[in-house]
Amino acid sequence: MSAVAQENSQPLNFYRPDYFVKTPTMRSPEYVQLSTAAAITLGLIPGVMHRTSCTNCLNLLMTYPEGCRANCTYCGLARHREESRDYADRNFIRVDWPTVRVDEMLERIAKNGDKGQFQRMCISMITHPDSDHDTQVMLKRWMEVAPHIPASILSNPTTMDKQDLIDLKAMGADIFTVALDAVTPEIFERTRGKTVQSPHSWDKYWQTIEWAAEIYGPEKFGAHLICGMGETEQEILAVCQKMKDLGGHNHMFAFFPEKGSMMEDWDAVPQDHWRRVQLGRFLIDYAGGRYEDMEFDQYGRVLGFGYPQAELEDIIDSGKPFQTSGCPGKDDEEVSACNRPYGDSSPSDIRSFPFALNREDVEIVRRQMRLQDLQFPG
């Protein structure tokens, strides 16, 4: 039976992106999109992930036929794609996001369909007039069924006010995050501001981060940062330190040219640039490192981390700085539950490792980071 016929005869429980059928009408809060890894984990689609048992986080994405009304240049969900792809068929962070009826998803969660694998759930908002209200509806329903699995909110500051953050916390949101993405005002404006006919504002995003610091408190808020959109290593690590000083965490993504986005012809972030930023971010977030102690060259590249070398070697050997960064799980606060398998690279050139690194992986990372070119103090 075709997707269209199913829609006409009974509620559609699941839709996998398909460019050869008419996309059915699916709207939050009755429907929600979820990552490919989460769909595999819940048994909605078959599949395996390279060297990992999919994901420990159920990543959800609000969905509307009108789509996201923002126009961020690096995003596969951007408004400029509406002439070529229906919203539910667009790729996002490299993969398809199938759509599931919320009743179906919650029933599977209630029946332990994830086999205890999910350590966290995250609702990702989009820029849409209904997203604020529907996110609260989604969170309320989640807390009724699965309060034992902590909930994060990946927010849309553009449409929110302070009371929204207060309400979400009161309803059970454990962690609140902001997808700042661009780390300088100039890059923010060029990639997601009025320059590209997008509604987002650098000042509003930072205001929302400050609200989150006040309302959610230390270790309960964070920012997504994308490395490789034209900033220097020095600039992105300065933002990491600012977030840490506010009490938050930094969730780092390697820029990958998303197919269909306005930046699809950009190069991915260079390996050495990315690895040094990953290490610097980890030192700041978890190891007492300080941006002010780091040394940079005239191009903003890290020359030294300002950290005792023996201790630095141990941290590198642990592999943790190079795993996916995000909201924590229950096993280790330094390791993200949200491992987003291959969301910023292919398995043949892993940028964010969705699993613990072995000795061979660490040696590859060391070569990529070019630490032999750096001078360590102490």
CATH number at residue 68: 3.20.20.70
Task: Report yes or no on 163 lying in a domain.
Answer: yes
Task: Report yes or no on 369 lying in a domain.
Answer: no
pTM greater than 0.75: yes
Average pLDDT, the chain: 93
| Burial of 9 from C-beta contacts in 10 A (0-12 / 13-18 / 19+) | exposed
3-state secondary structure of 222: strand
Task: Report yes or no on 304 lying in a domain.
Answer: no
For 85-118, write each residue's pLDDT tens digit: 888 888 777 788 999 999 999 999 999 999 999 9
C-beta separation of 107 from 43 below 8 A: no
Task: Report yes or no on 320 lying in a domain.
Answer: no
Task: Report yes or no on 377 lying in a domain.
Answer: no
Q: For the chain, how many structural domains are there in total?
A: 1
Task: Report yes or no on 60 lying in a domain.
Answer: yes
Task: Report yes or no on 23 lying in a domain.
Answer: no
Residue 152 to residue 226: CA distance in whole angstroms: 19
Which amino acid is it at 84? S
Residue 103 to residue 141: CA distance in whole angstroms: 9
For 192-210, write each residue's pLDDT tens digit: 999 999 999 999 999 999 9
**What letter does residue 336 receive in the DSSP assignment?**
B
Range of the domain at 244: 31-269
Task: Report yes or no on 283 lying in a domain.
Answer: no
